[in-house]
Structure 1
Amino acid sequence: MENEKNYFTAGELASLYGIPKQTLLYYDKNELLIPAFVNKNGYRYYSVSQYLVLEIILNMRKLNISVHDIKLYLENRSDENFGKILQDKIKECNELIDDTQKVKNSLELSLATLEKIPKIRLNQIELSFQQSKILLLSPPITKTTQIKDRVKTLAHHNQAAFSKKHFKEFTTGWIIDKDDFFAKKFNRSIQYFTPVSHSFSKKHCYTRPEGFYISIFFEGTYYQKASSIYLRLEDFIKRNHLIVVGDIYVFPIKNHWLTEDTKSYINQISFQVEYQNE
């Protein structure tokens, strides 16, 4: 029989690393760290060399290395194999840092947008020159598209616009055909859109051109206020001798994320215009 005094019981070994005995039992069942021997009373004993092996196991587990991969390494220990593990983990860390930075950037952008809300001038029509914007567009929505199918289109659009790992920093707006809007057919959305960065894949993107745009911020939902906003926009266009050359972009600024009261929503309507030829 082995001299038990020169070995650690499972409880003793576990206490040296501050881990529960169940962890050693788990490693035993997975043949990662099998006791040196088990006495007649069923107590498991571990050698001094196994104390050192457990050091490797626990530290590799801190790096989220699987039991299977740890077992492979223990069976094939070398400078080269350990170096490969370190290189792989450094790569994972860099990817995690990159993902975390993207989340941080999204949070900062969302906070900056939130802080601008109290400064928004409501119900004022503005004519200004705007730079081009890259927009991710959904597939077209037809006049016969049912509500459930519209939601499906929106959901698929959001999946494309926002990574599963990243915070949704932008809201999604919708586009109204200019001819429909100025024919008072306010409910005929033709597409959803989301602003995206220049690094976004351009496959389904549209660059909204630079130029002069009319814009107005207003409280309430688009559908609550569209008819009254329309009258003001039509009057502004006529008085300033403008021509509407682009579709209508409706973009939520304050929505269900910030309030349950739809009357407190804030939306923006914007569209491109040109001056009439004299």
Structure 2
Amino acid sequence: MGIREQYYTPVEFAKLFNIDKQTLIYYDNQGIFTPAFKKENGYRYYSAEQIVLFSILLSLRKLNIQGHLLAEYNKNPSNDKLTEMLKDKIFEYNETVESLSHKIECLHAKISSIQKSNNLPINNIMLIPHHQIYCQRSAVIHENTSYKDALLASTPLISSFATNLLTHQLQLSFMPVFKNLSDLSEPHQYRIVLLTNETKLFTNPLEYPPALYLTLIIEGAFRQNALRYITLMEEFMDKIGLTYKPLAFITPWQTFNCFENEKRKLTKIELNVSYE
């Protein structure tokens, strides 16, 4: 019986599975599936006994079984090995399903958050990038101390602010001490801080690296309705996928409308945030 009667050429064997012969050559080079016979001139030949085995390997490949696992099965094909591979793939797919289910839940939560925040006053909320911030700050101040009393007790810091206010861009703010954003709805400790972007204004200043700040402008004092403002910020962050760090600045100031002879007390809340 001649070799042509016992074996298939790569082209003939590939036609049985409606694939290109290059796929067979690739599998051979990767050690996944080798010909039954190679002649001295390098021509490959596949046997009829390999048809069933290659059918199994192709079906496993369609299930995204990795090449090295296919090679292991090709070397020692058995029902036990095949069952083990399929069970491992089921476990992998179950993990994928759980991960996708969690992502779907997150997407539904995002949709719900967006629908709930349709009336969010976006014009009052901004995302503002800050350059490097240099800071001088007071000691921690007791949570029951009013801002006014704290300022009166921080004479050296306030004097520095007053001296440099006209010649340097300084910001006088209050920096709350907190871990969770909800802490700000209750009485909390804080510091008085002087903030600037100028490197040489302070000696040995505390430095905060460039960052993004969620900035909320409100009318009146933050403490008067802190829970509402915290809820607005949380909804906004959830809506666009932001997380926060426990770093914030609260800056009261007032504006004067000379046409209406009216003063307005405003507060700026700046919260250090980043994208998830």
With the length of structure 1 as denominator, give the TM-score of the two structures: 0.48
Structure of greater Rg: 2
With the length of structure 2 as denominator, give the TM-score of the two structures: 0.48
